[in-house]
Amino acid sequence: MRICAIIPAYNEVRTIGEVVSVTSHVPEIKEVIVVSDGSTDGTAELARQCGAKVIELGENVGKGGAMKIGLDHCSADIVLFLDADLIGLNENHVIKLLRPVMDGEVDMTIGVFRGGRFTTDIAQKVSPFLSGQRAVRKSVLDRMNNMEITKFGVEVALTSFVRKNNIAYKKVVLEQMSHVMKEEKLGWKKGVQARLKMYWEIMKGIYIARSEE
């Protein structure tokens, strides 16, 4: 059973190295693909140094588009999606995401933070289906349309797709894990603007998912 990890990344030089290094050391994962989504800060170079196959995009196409491009370059039975800005990721987290899919228990897992930081714990408790940490059978992803246009709404669209088609999934708790908030990356003003843009793209993702029902 071949497993590939896909990590979409936009200017995540602060965290991409650790995410790639941890993922690369999990024996079950045969390939780690980082899709540098128009990054200008050294993300691609560092990811490559840490052992990932890197696809560099000349312009930012959005999270859904980056994930779709990664899928187009991936030959696997199971795909692991991870965000590039994770804090506290370890090999046990990766195995917890993969194991239920590998064992045939479900076709998709969704990772939910717990015990990392208060802000991210609360956000994922309120909206667990926005989590970017997932293991999914490639056969499920191959059936999904419009991933490339959902941008930050990709997780909502994916969750809606599996629910609509009665595909088995489960939430997996990822202890002591978090991620860097947009306000920390960009400063308060730009961070809030980026967050509002993300919410707008999530709403569009919901609309796209519902339009396909």
Question: What burial class does residue 191 get, using C-beta atoms within 10 Å of its C-beta: 0-12 exposed, 13-18 middle, 19+ buried?
Answer: middle
Six token digits for residue 208: 């796209």
pTM of the entire predicted model: 0.82
* Burial call 153-173: b when 16+ CB within 10 Å, e when fewer: bbbbbbbbbbeeeebebeebe
Asked if residue 1 lies in contact with residue 102, where contact means CB atoms within 8 angstroms, the answer is yes
Average pLDDT over residues 13-40: 96
Q: Give 77-114 pLDDT, tens digit per residue.
A: 999 999 999 999 999 999 999 999 999 999 999 999 88
Residue ranges of the domains in the chain? 3-211
Amino acid identity of residue 62, one-letter, is G
Containing 140, the helix (H) or strand (E) segment is helix 138-141
- Predicted confidence (pLDDT) at residue 47 exceeds the cutoff of 90: yes
In terms of CATH, what superfamily is 3-211? Spore Coat Polysaccharide Biosynthesis Protein SpsA; Chain A (3.90.550.10)
Per-residue three-class SS string for 142-181:
CCCCCHHHCHHHHHHHHHHHHHHCCCCEEEEEEECCEECC
What length is written for the chain?
213
